Amino acid sequence: MSDKQELVDEKHIGQAAEFDPDSPAIRVLKRKLDYRFIPIWSLLYLFNFLDRSNIGNARIAGLEQDLNLTGTEFNMTLTIFFFGYIFFEVPSNIMLKKVGPKLWITVIMVVWSAIMMATAAVKDYAGLLSARFFLGLAEAGLVPGIIFMVSTFYTKTELATRNGLWYSMATFSGAFGGILAYGISMMHGKGGLVGWQWIFIIEGGTTLLVCLIAWFGLADSPEKAMFLTPEERLLAAERLRIDAGPATETEFSWSQARLAFTDWQTYAYIVGYICGSIPVYAMSLFVPSIVLQFNYSVATTQIMTAPAFAAATITTIICAVSSDRFRERGLHCFVPSVVGCIGFILLIATKDSSVAARYVSLTVTCCGVFSAAPAMFAWFSGNIGGHSKRAVAIGLIASLGCIGGAIGAQVYRPSDAAGGYVRGHTISACLCGMAAIMSLVSKMVFTLINKHRDNLSPEEYARACQGENLLDKHPDFRYQT
């Protein structure tokens, strides 16, 4: 056994210089964390995404006609969902930090699954609007909550892969959801209910069962992860303390939470996140409608949404693993954004071409727009120091980023369907380009800040260390680029 490993076994792991991040003990610890949390986070997000986006499949199954929705009313039911997100994501992450992820995530899942099943009973436009708003309120806490949980169990160089694995459920849900909706819609007429009602009831009911997995499977912190041995819990906490550098605060602090609102990088991430999220949500909600324009039947359309999302699942995971492997974030946001931009341009160029050409263009688009998110999540959760500041900042970024969801729900208008949704594709292409530019600018700024801190004189370093609550502003802190 090596000297470094002996130090770990003897619990003398407080010295960063002696701490081996690649020791056998660390590898065993990471395996335990991965096997425990990644399947749970993935399952939670799968049903989160299914429950928010299944309205697109319900539309194909007749919801729009049965509720007599006209004009842009369907788009408004999509948009109002994100207002619930915007209002509640920051308060939700504060509650998550105060009461713990285990209880809070379980509670919000029970609430949203009940709302989802109740949506089957709506009779008109007003009822559907109300259901979608409250669904957004209930679901708001999950994504920022998972991003925060990942950052409390893994080091900064491990975040993108883990975020990529659970986030890939967004694309997998597009593939799985279409097939599932096709099967459920075959229950049309059973129990006096139509197909779209069964979609809400069965998917919402399944989410209620998944709540049990959240309650029994999640842990509030490394110190409270009872599936680990006492030595592993100590090791898990210590390696995160060392990785955090000077930003080691873990208890909730209002003074540090307020720093999230005054840090320029919070707003830089928000701008980039909004630009990237509009195409993501537009694709999530309207791929069934886009595929329907390929002149497939309704049943075939539900199934044919699957291959494009399946390809995007693979590229999302590859991009996430690559981001951690090369310890790089900016280019792993830039390249997928460029690919997404190219995909939307291809959708415009091939709108009058063969179905095969249009479907390939759609697949390229999905692979691009979804693949940037894990690196982005890892970027802001790794660069914002301190648990309180990070929890609030993640909630703020996700909350204001959902403005992109509200806009994305309006990008593809019913009146544009006959022309191949050219306007929607054009808007999305431009936003992907803007997201790519923001990624490069942010990378350059963080690189310059790191270089400046590397070259501080002893006097400059001493002055920079003065003050309280420095967190990621401490001269020893290095940003991921």
pLDDT of residue 198: 93
CB 71 within 8 A of CB 414: yes
Q: What average pLDDT does the chain have?
A: 89
pLDDT tens per residue across span 346-385: 999 999 999 999 999 999 999 999 999 999 999 999 999 8
pLDDT of residue 180: 79
Residue 15 has pLDDT above 70, yes or no: no
pLDDT tens per residue across span 274-307: 999 999 989 987 888 899 888 887 778 778 888 9
Residue 248 has pLDDT above 80, yes or no: no
DSSP-derived secondary structure letter, 224:
G
pLDDT tens per residue across span 250-265: 667 788 889 999 999 9
Arithmetic mean of pLDDT, 446-450: 97
With 0-12 CB in 10 A as exposed, 13-18 as middle and 19+ as buried, what is 274? buried
Q: In this structure, what is the dihedral angle of CA atoms 100, 102, 107, 112, given to the nearest 10 degrees?
A: 110
Q: Helices marked H in 402-421 — which ranges?
A: 403-411
DSSP string, 280-310: HHHHHHHHHHHHHTTT--HHHHHHHTHHHHH
CB 301 within 8 A of CB 291: yes
User: How far, in Å, CA of 385 to CA of 265, rounded?
Assistant: 12
